[in-house]
Structures are given as C-alpha cells and as structure tokens.
Amino acid sequence: MTIKNATKKNKKQFSSITILSLTLLFAMILTVLDTQNKDSSLLSFTDEESPNNSNNSNDINDKINGNDDSVLSSSTATFTRSELDYFGSNNDRDDDNNSSRTTTGRTRKQKQREILAKIKGNANMLNDKHPSMAYARFDENEHTKNIEQKCSTTSERNSNNAEFIVDAFKNSEKNLIGYSHMAMISELPKGAFYRWILIWQCSRGIEGTSDMHLRATFSDDLRKWTESIVINVKKDKRNAVWAPVLHLDRKENILWLFFAESVKCLRMMTPENRWSPGGNIMSVSTIDGISWTKPKTLMTTDAESGNPKVIANKLIVHPKTKNWVLPYWGEASSAKGCRSGHPTISGVLISKDRGHTWHSHGKVHPRHGRVIEGTVAVLSSADDSILQLWRSKSGFLMQSISQNGGLSWTVPKRRTDLKNPDSKASMVDFSVQYTDDDDGAGNNNIDSSSNNSSGRIRGTTQRVLSNSELAEMNSLSSKHYVALAFNDASSGRKKLSLSISNKGDGKEFTKVKEIESGRTGVHYHYPTVEVDPYYYNDCSSSLKSGSERQKRIRVIVAYSYMKRISSWANVLKESKFGGIKVATVLI
C-alpha cells in the first residue's frame, strides 16, 4: 500500500469516527434536555397556542356540529400523549396522589396560561364517570397571600374598588357568538387552577338551534376573565343543550354541572329550526374545571308527562336530611308530534346520595297559569323550611313552602311585594358565623337603620358559610340570610335588583342595590346570585379596629344582557350585541 492510499484510508476512518462521536453526543444532549423538561414539568407552546391567540374564533359549525372530532366526541381526549406526560398519567391522577401533587416553580399566572394554551379552547371530556385532574394541584395559600397583600396595599375592601360590574364575555363576530344566556357562577374545587368558573349557553344568534352549546370562562378575582372554552357535553351533535346549573360539593371537593339536552320536540321555524326548551336532564362533574366526566342521564324527556325537562337555578342542601334539592319543570312543547296534552308542571329532584341518583317530588300546577324556573333557599326556621320562588305571568313572583325537605309544597301564591315581568329570579341562602359580640340568635348584626342603609355587619365574625357548607355542620352559632336577584318590575326586563332577607325567613326582602337601572331596548335578566367567601376571608378579615371593624359581605350576581328582539327572522342581524356580565355588591 502506498503512503497516499494509506493517508486516504486514515482520513475516511477519522471521518467515520467523528460522525459517530457527534451523533452520540447529540443523542446524549437530547436525552438530558428531555429529562430536564420532564423534571421541570414545563409546558412549551408556540405563539399560535398561547391563550391570547386561542382558536375560539374557529367556525362554530366546525367545533359544535361535526367537523372537529376533538370537540365532538365526549370520549375523545383533547390532550396529546406528550401533553398528558406533563399533566400526569391516569394512574397518577387518583385522589390519593392529587392531595400531595402541587405546582411549584413558575408563578400562578404562568401555570394558568400554560394550561389554557394546551387545551386550545376545548374542555377535556373523559371516558368514564369518575373525575380526575389534568394538572398538579394548585396551592391555594399562594393565591391567598397575593390577595392579602392586594387588600392591604390597594384598599380592595373599599366599596369603590370591591363593587363593580364587568363584562365576563361579549358576543362578537370574532368568536361567532351572537346569543349568550342562562349564566351560572360557582367556586371551583380546592386545588383547581382558578377560583371561579362561569358557564352559560350560547349559539350563533338563535336560542334552541342545533349549534347551541355550553361555554365557560375562569377568574381569580371576578374582574378579569379568561378566554372562553367549549364544554362539549352533547351526546349528539345535532342536539341543543340548555340551562347549566353548578353545585360545588365541598365535602367531596367535586363540582357538579347539571344541564338539559334536547332529544325530541324540534320546532320547524324560520330562519332555522329550533328545539323546544329542555330535554333529558343530565350531569357531569369535575375536580379541575377543564376535565369533565362522561354525561349521565338523570331524568328523560319521556318521564312523567312526556314534556321536555328543564332546570334553571342552583340546588340547596337541606340541613336536616342532607338531601340535595334541585328545582325542575316539564315544559309543554308546541312542536309537531310533541303535544303531550299535559300542562307545564314544576317540581323538584331530590338526591339522597350526593347527586348520584335522583327522584322527582312535590309537583305543583297552579290554576292560574304555569310557574317555571324555580329558585330555592333554606330559611332560618326551626324545621329548616325551604322557600321556592317562580317566575310567572301574574306580574309577581309566585311562592311555595316545603316543611319536609322538598317532598311536598304548599299551593303557589303571589308575592305581591316582589314584582316580576315573567323572568327568572335567583336566591341563595348563607350564614355568618359569629364569635364575639353576638349571641348567635341574629341580634345586632346587620344594621338596616337609616344611617346605615348599606346593612353592614357589626361585631367580630369568623367566616361566611354557604348553604352546602352550613348543611354539613350539625350546630353553629350564626346569623342566616337570603339574597334575591330579580327584575324588580311587573313588565320589562330593564331593571335588575338585589334584595336581602335580613332575618333569613324570606318574609321580607329589603333592596340593597339596583344593579341595572335600565336601558331602552335591552334586557338585563336571568341572574344567578352567589355569596363570595373569598372576599370576606381575604379582604374583610384584614380590617383592623374602630369603624373598620364593620365587616362587609360581598354578593355576586352573574346575568346576561341582549337586545330585545322584535322578530326571530331578524335575530341574526341584531343579536351580536350582548353577552354575560358579573356584578359584585357589598352588604
């Protein structure tokens, strides 16, 4: 072999060795980076995946009616395999592991943005009926410290800052939503990535069309709300879904979502066919706000009278029996082939096993017209009576009382002190636990005298307890209240008010705030009222002494607003104005 040929051979061997070495080195670098990514649990996303560039503006027909498989099927997960590696495998998401897995490192807002970016505008619909978490639990203490600092530095407890009205969602051409209605607000379970969730029904512009679906948005402070996401609970893409109702089971730390899905009674109409309100009453549940269980049927359209079933307001937990009591009604349909001959009848669904099985009770049908969209509250009576109020065409709210936990009800009668333009009202009962200068019997608490029209609470108190939280306790020294949000007029839905029953007996309601004073041609209606325990615990507890010891309770009202449509034929042209608002009121 010549020296020249040997040199060429050595060069080839050296090149092969160099390439092999570089390849091995590159593989080692990738392995290290992959390990670091898994250890740090960081989500990466492109500009197109960021929350500010969410694809909510994709055509609603594609998302809801058939061209987007990730949204259509309730058994299809939204996450890819690599994304689930970040969130944790199914084996790592059981209740025992969830209690110890918390997010670390990145800020709360960063983690929230990453989660919303990865779900890309669509909730994750699980294959089974057991809720699981798609991310590590959030540390509530982290957010509480931020709120406490905010309260002390920005005077959030001042009424000018703590009382506000914001747009949680606006209809627009961009998001292809022209109709938003039936807003429902609730706390999220502990450990979820936000504190609050808001859900409503919406469509391109007409109520009851096949594209009507549920959307949700999230917030920590009730002021700023995220981009909305689709919660696709439909069993059939051709159906409409109605009337979301939320209930947080604090004991189990599960949030329930009840709704109705149309399965029959389609009305042939112009410009589009529309389902009659209601259908089968269904439920799903979540522990993280973005992963929802497989829908379960609680009551069918064909049950009882054969009229489609509808719900509208939150359930209560009865303190004595611990039963869940959920108002519903079967609404007579005008659709061809669906005229059952039975009138609209209202009742309640009762669950004795925390929402897993339900039975109907206490059906009523007044002689002078139908009553629908019942709202219930537990009263401060020895027998824990339940008050139910309905919308009616009489110009007033109708009232009924149950003294046996919802099994039977008195004949509905008019509440002449509570006007109503045949529109949904909403009640919530809550208690304030006292530890200082109150005897627990309701003396000297809310001062409604002329020099204190705001109704401030006197004395030192511990906390605000919701109905479901109070029901879990056998005895408690507390003062009970009932809040009522409603259209305070015999006609027209322009004016929206908040009233309080200071004695908690529901016999007398005192107006504390006119949330909307009215605007010609605009409906402000269908409120859902809720008490805010976070404000009381985070901000009101930071008060020092003297006049500042007059602690305040914050009540939340979520409601829809829209133009008064003169003709359904023109609704698509007129409906882009509107959306969902959230108001807070201090009492």
- Of 181, 211, 185, 206, the C-alpha closest to 196 is 185
Q: Where are the beta strands (DSSP E) in 205-317?
A: 213-219, 229-231, 241-249, 254-261, 266-267, 274-275, 280-286, 291-292, 296-299, 309-310, 316-317
144-175 residues labelled b (16+ CB within 10 A) or e (exposed): eebbbebbeeeebbeeeebbeeeebbbbeeeb
Q: What are phi and psi of 160, to 5 degrees?
A: -65, -30
Q: For position 128, what pLDDT does the model report?
A: 86
Q: Round to whole Å and give the CA distance between 235 and 218.
A: 25
Q: For position 455, what pLDDT does the model report?
A: 36
Contact (Cβ atoms closer than 8 angstroms) between residue 245 and residue 313: yes
Q: For position 56, what pLDDT does the model report?
A: 41
Written as six digits, the tokens of 96 are 């025992």
Q: Round to whole Å and give the CA distance between 503 and 506.
A: 8
Residue type, 520: T
**DSSP 3-state assignment of 53?**
helix
According to the 3-state scheme, what is the secondary structure of 337-360?
CCCCCCCCEEEEEEECCCCCCCEE
Written as six digits, the tokens of 92 are 């790592």
Written as six digits, the tokens of 13 are 């061997």
For residue 245, give the DSSP letter.
Answer: E
Residue type, 465: L
Q: For position 426, what pLDDT does the model report?
A: 98
Q: For position 445, what pLDDT does the model report?
A: 40
Q: Round to whole Å and give the CA distance between 55 and 48.
A: 8
Q: For position 22, what pLDDT does the model report?
A: 60
- Domain locations in the chain? 140-586
- In which residue ranges of the chain is pLDDT below 70? 1-105, 142-160, 368, 434-462, 472-477, 536-551, 566-575
Q: For position 477, what pLDDT does the model report?
A: 56
What does pTM read for this prediction? 0.80
pLDDT in tens, 319-373: 999 999 999 999 999 888 787 778 899 999 999 999 999 999 999 977 768 899 9
CATH of domain 140-586: 2.120.10.10
- 458 Cβ contact partners less than 8 Å away, ≥ 6 residues apart: 437, 438, 444, 445, 446, 447, 550
- 253 Cβ contact partners less than 8 Å away, ≥ 6 residues apart: 189, 190, 191, 287
Q: For position 343, what pLDDT does the model report?
A: 87
């080692």: which residue's tokens? 28
- Of 553, 530, 531, the C-alpha closest to 199 is 530
Q: Where are the beta strands (DSSP E) in 365-403?
A: 372-378, 386-391, 396-402
Q: Round to whole Å and give the CA distance between 267 and 420.
A: 28
Q: For position 432, what pLDDT does the model report?
A: 85
Q: Round to whole Å and give the CA distance between 493 and 423.
A: 7
Q: Round to whole Å and give the CA distance between 363 and 388.
A: 12
Contact (Cβ atoms closer than 8 angstroms) between residue 205 and residue 178: yes
